[in-house]
């Protein structure tokens, strides 16, 4: 038989600290896994905008790439 001391090397999952994020509506600290803010009732949705967090040069490079593709396709069609 094993004693409890044999399993001391394994992490205890019950001590996990869940991260919190501010509610975008009221600013209350909400667990990041929460679907709804317990204070104001606002639904917490992940940021899904395509440009969020991208530097300006990345956006400009993307737009130039799209424009270059359009120019090549127009010239190829003629």
Same domain, 39 and 54: no
Structural domain of 65: 49-78
Question: Is 29 domain-assigned?
Answer: yes
- Nearest alpha carbon to residue 40 among 30, 49, 54: 30
Query: Into how many domains does the chain fold?
Result: 2
For residue 27, give every residue at least 6 positions away whose Cβ sits within 8 Å of its Cβ, in sequence order, or none. none
Question: Is 7 domain-assigned?
Answer: no
pTM for the whole thing?
0.38
β-bridge pairing 20-22 and 29-31 = antiparallel
- Residues 5-25: tens digit of each pLDDT: 555 555 555 445 678 888 888
Handedness of CA 27, 31, 33, 35 (dihedral sign): negative
Question: Is 5 domain-assigned?
Answer: no
- Residues 41-58: tens digit of each pLDDT: 888 776 666 666 778 898
Q: Which position has the higher pLDDT, 1 or 53?
A: 53
Alpha-carbon gap, residue 27 to 38, rounded angstroms = 11
């Amino acid at each position: 038989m094993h004693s409890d001391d044999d399993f001391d090397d394994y992490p205890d999952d019950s001590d996990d600290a869940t991260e919190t994020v501010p509610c975008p509506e009221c600013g209350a600290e909400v667990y990041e896994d929460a679907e709804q803010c317990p204070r104001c009732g606002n639904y917490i949705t992940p940021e899904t905008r395509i440009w969020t967090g991208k530097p300006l040069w990345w956006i400009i490079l993307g737009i130039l790439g799209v424009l270059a593709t359009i120019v090549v396709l127009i010239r190829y069609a003629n």
